[in-house]
Structure 1
Amino acid sequence: MSKEDKVGRQQERLFISLVVSVLFLSFFAYAFVFYESGLYSL
């Protein structure tokens, strides 16, 4: 495996983890907003 291959693999993994964390955070924010508005509607 060449050095460039390793760097590309690392960047890919970093990008995937970044996307996953962004999705996770947006899901949390959506769930929190939904929960809060649900409480207020009750």
Structure 2
Amino acid sequence: TVPLFHFYKNGALVEAFPTRDKERIDAAILKYTSTTSNDN
């Protein structure tokens, strides 16, 4: 089986995909997080 990853921002689903590819998961995490963001 392949895990399904869901990414949420402010309670809304922004992306979901099935993968075992660590690089794709890391890219999605970086895409939706930021050290300069004031969205917290």
Same fold (TM > 0.5): no
Name the TM-score, length of structure 1 as normaliser. 0.34
TM-score where L is the length of structure 2: 0.36
Identify which of structures 1 and 2 has the higher relative contact order when contacts are C-alpha pairs closer than 8 Å and 6+ apart.
Answer: 2
Larger Rg: 1
Q: Which has the higher helix share?
A: 1
